[in-house]
Amino acid sequence: MAPPAREFDLVAVGSLAIDHIHRVTVLPKRDAGVAILDRRSGPGGVEGNIAAAAASLGLSVGMIGYVGADDAGEMILADFRERGVDVSRLQVGAPGDTAYTYAFVDPRGDRMMMTGGKGVRGLKLDEDDDAYIRRARAVSTSGYLPWPLLQRVAGVCAEPGGPLLSFDLPGEFDDLEGRGFLPEHMEALLPSIDLFLTSRESLLSYAGAATIEHGLAYLRAGGIRRAAVSDGAQGVHLFEVHDGRGEHHRLPAFPVQVVDTTGAGDVLHAALVAEWLLGERPADLAGRVAAAAAALACRGWGTRSALPSRDEVAALVGEP
């Protein structure tokens, strides 16, 4: 049987939400009050942000996710349509089902977030979704996708000639375990992952490691051959196994006027899929482009208000 046509560079499978972002004087602490200086709302969710950022960078993108039949769900759909993201497999449930996130951002751009609503827990996958995934060169998902669905997506990617699998480990396991994603699930998934992305805090939480180097060694022992670890203002760490040897690259962050860091890691993810996983550029060059894309995304309020184009990223990096 001939392999399916690769209509999409990337299909994202997972969480969609409406972000309610509050600019505050300081981040909230226990039993302490803070002042909200301003607020605004817009589309978000890890996989939704990755899809939007990838489209902005010039990739052909499809999205599998779940929203409610409400104004918030329509806002998410409208944003994708405007960006050229295919939503033919996006599922619409009952009014009030759209997930929501409350984000609080301080003057330095640091933030804290809390998410509620049915959201991705309402998502179901069937054979038509499997076929849709097979039409992609790569698939992006995360630990927020319910475990049975993660297994299904990984199984499609593991088929002969299946898409490459890019996986984001978000947050710490104290939170993920409450959502049903357990360390043993991560262990089972590791050998299927072509590109593993996470943050410093998430990696150390998962690996029980004291340093990024020890965390990367833990991932390699589990079968990971390509990984990226975002480290905030310190930049990004890339790891790959090349000719049987592990190589660790540290790429600095680009200096920009930071307004809001919400979603910068999702933009980093999208750019690494474009440049490293699909573009097959050397790790150090791909990482530099991805760091530039993430930095540019921090210039605006909310995840998607300042998503960069490929030309904007190239200008910052100094590429023709």
> Which of 44-58, 93-107, 187-201, 247-261 is predicted least confidently?
247-261
Residue from 45, 59, 80 nearest 136 by CA: 59
Confidence check: pLDDT of 140 > 50: yes
Percent of the chain with pLDDT over 90: 73
Sign of CA dihedral 222, 199, 232, 56: positive
> Which of 94-103, 105-114, 189-198, 274-283 is predicted least confidently?
105-114
pLDDT digits (tens, 9 = 90+) for 269-288: 999 999 999 999 999 999 99
Confidence (pTM): 0.93
User: pLDDT at position 320, please?
Assistant: 65
Confidence check: pLDDT of 92 > 90: yes
Domains and CATH numbers, the chain: 8-309 (3.40.1190.20)
Confidence check: pLDDT of 109 > 80: no
Indicate the pLDDT class of residue 121, thresholds 50, 70 and 90. Answer: very high
Confidence check: pLDDT of 2 > 80: no
> Which of 6-15, 39-48, 137-146, 244-253 is predicted least confidently?
244-253
**Do residues 142 and 47 touch, judged by C-beta distance below 8 A?**
yes
Phi, psi (rounded to 5 degrees) for 188? -70, -30
The two tokens of residue 17 are 């939400």
pLDDT digits (tens, 9 = 90+) for 7-56: 999 999 999 999 998 989 998 888 888 999 989 899 999 999 999 999 99
pLDDT digits (tens, 9 = 90+) for 195-227: 999 999 999 989 989 999 999 999 999 999 999
Contacts of 295 (CB under 8 A, 6+ apart): 253, 254, 255, 256, 264, 316
Averaged pLDDT of the chain: 92
What SS3 state is found at 53? helix
Helix axes of 200-207 and 212-221: crossing angle, nearest 10 degrees: 60
Confidence check: pLDDT of 182 > 80: yes
**Do residues 260 and 299 touch, judged by C-beta distance below 8 A?**
no
Q: Rounded to whole angstroms, what are the CA distances from 189 to 42, 131, 169, 223?
A: 32, 21, 11, 9
User: pLDDT at position 229, please?
Assistant: 94
Indicate the pLDDT class of residue 1, thresholds 50, 70 and 90. Answer: very low
